[in-house]
Amino acid sequence: MNKKLILGFGVLIAMSLVFIILFMPQIGTGDTIKVKNGDTFSVVLPSNPTTGYRWEVNFDFNYVQLTDSSYVTSNPVLVGSSGNETFEFLAVKSGETEMTFYYSRPWESKPPLDTRVFMIIIE
């Protein structure tokens, strides 16, 4: 019984460390996405909704439209395992705009755990 309890705590600590390493704040990634007007494009970000965190996105609706979002868990599928959140967009106007993703718990007033910024160039 004692060994199971110690093993359980060890697994919990290991999972916590992996989460911290994967989701360290990374503000202003500076990635640029180039697309043609009328084309679709996707942004894929690591996510673990079982922790309460989720990605929120701010963007200019004049340039892009969110057409779909989905979450796919990593393999093997285990309780509490992470995965990827995919956001699909449609470019609707030529020009340049910025898109910012915030990884946070919607009910908390803390700063986001992670922020990703993308420059979108629509030709």
Q: What is the mean pLDDT of residues 30-51?
A: 91
Q: What is the pLDDT of residues 9-25, one digit of tens each?
A: 444 444 543 444 444 43
Alpha carbon 37 to chain centroid, angstroms: 24
Could you tell me the domains of the chain? 25-122 (2.60.40.2020)
* Assessment of whether the complete model's pTM goes beyond 0.85: no
pLDDT for 10 equals 47
For 23, residues 6+ apart whose C-beta sits below 8 A from its C-beta are 46, 48, 53, 103, 113, 114
Compute the distance between CA of residue 70 and CA of residue 54 in angstroms, rounded to an integer: 11
For 87, residues 6+ apart whose C-beta sits below 8 A from its C-beta are 42, 43, 44, 45, 55, 57, 66, 68, 69, 101
Q: Is the pLDDT of residue 61 over 60?
A: yes
